[in-house]
Amino acid sequence: MLKISALAVALAGAATFAHADDAENAVRIAFAKLAPTAKPEMIQKSEMPGFYAVLHQGQVFYVSADGKYFIRGDIFNIETKQDVIGHDLAGLRRAGLKDVPQSKRIVFAPPNPKHTVVVFTDVDCPYCRNFHKQIAAFNQVGIAVEYVFFPLSIHPGADAKAVSVWCSQDRNAAYTAAMNGQDPGKKQCANPVSETLAMGLKIGIGATPTILTTDGLQVNGNAAATPQALLAELDRLDKPAADKPAAAVANAPK
């Protein structure tokens, strides 16, 4: 009897996976009908029942699991008063960040961090340099910063500088020196720069510095103006949804 029950559970699980695969395929086909040349970066089940979130060129679209309906625009959860698109985009980004382990990041962290942020950075980005000037203070208030290289095409040679920083004996020191305007040289070695750039594009990163929580939520750049402001914002984002002030309510339909 136990063997039969176990087999039934296994078959039920297989059916669930098959159903999910069928739905995702229907979503992919439906999206292709609307945009034949577009290739979605990621597709995942949305928190909105019956729909899948589709990430393409930094925007989130919604397609029903049967491939019949398409939604573009703001969507709010009436009960939580939260922005569904922001939630789903965070989920897509969280999944993408798993492809870039800590071993492919440059980490500045205190012994026991309260919060960790992932920052997409470009060594020639002036805003990134301003952010890094406060790295010791960010660490001091309990914020760990994990940099992921995202050299922008508007900064020719930034990719080569990123590679040279990565290939330095002391990456943290080399990164800080580069952010202070020093030429990191032309070192070469196996590196993740092209990989992290591709991943960033895949999850809709388009500028630097882009600051994400480990849950994939994007932190407003103004909230990182000071270590205290960033700490306060991360504390707010870390609260359970029911305890948060509903930031999306102001933009919700009245």
Q: Same domain, yes or no, for 111 and 231?
A: yes
Reference 137, options 221, 215, 228, 59; nearest CA is 228
* Residue-level pLDDT at 252: 45
Q: Same domain, yes or no, for 77 and 124?
A: no
Residue 252 falls inside a structural domain? no
Q: Read off the DSSP letter of residue 119.
A: E
Q: What is the pLDDT of residues 223-254, one digit of tens each?
A: 899 999 999 999 998 876 545 444 444 444 44
Residue 96 falls inside a structural domain? no
Q: Same domain, yes or no, for 218 and 135?
A: yes
* Residue-level pLDDT at 133: 97
* Residue-level pLDDT at 240: 60
Residue range 76-92: mean pLDDT, rounded = 81
Which domain range does residue 224 map to? 102-241
Q: Same domain, yes or no, for 194 and 114?
A: yes
Average pLDDT, the chain: 85
Evaluate whether 58 touches 65 at the Cβ level (below 8 Å).
no
Please, what's the b/e burial string for 152-188 (b: 16 or more CB within 10 A of its CB; e: otherwise)? beeeeebbbbbbbbbbbeeeeebbbbbbeeeebeebe
Point out the domain boundary residue: 57, 87, 117.
87
User: Which residue has 């039920």 as its token pair?
Assistant: 12
Q: What is the pLDDT of residues 119-153, one digit of tens each?
A: 999 999 999 999 999 999 999 999 999 999 999 99
Q: What is the pLDDT of residues 10-29, one digit of tens each?
A: 334 434 444 557 888 888 89
Q: Same domain, yes or no, for 81 and 177?
A: no
E-assigned strand segments in 130-174: 143-149
CATH number of the domain enclosing 44: 3.10.450.70
What pTM was estimated for this model as a whole?
Answer: 0.75
Q: Same domain, yes or no, for 119 and 67?
A: no
Which residues neighbour 95 within 8 Å (Cβ) at sequence distance 6 or greater? 42, 44, 216
Q: Same domain, yes or no, for 212 and 110?
A: yes
CATH number of the domain enclosing 164: 3.40.30.10
Number of domains in the chain: 2
Q: What is the pLDDT of residues 153-179, one digit of tens each?
A: 999 999 999 999 999 999 999 999 999
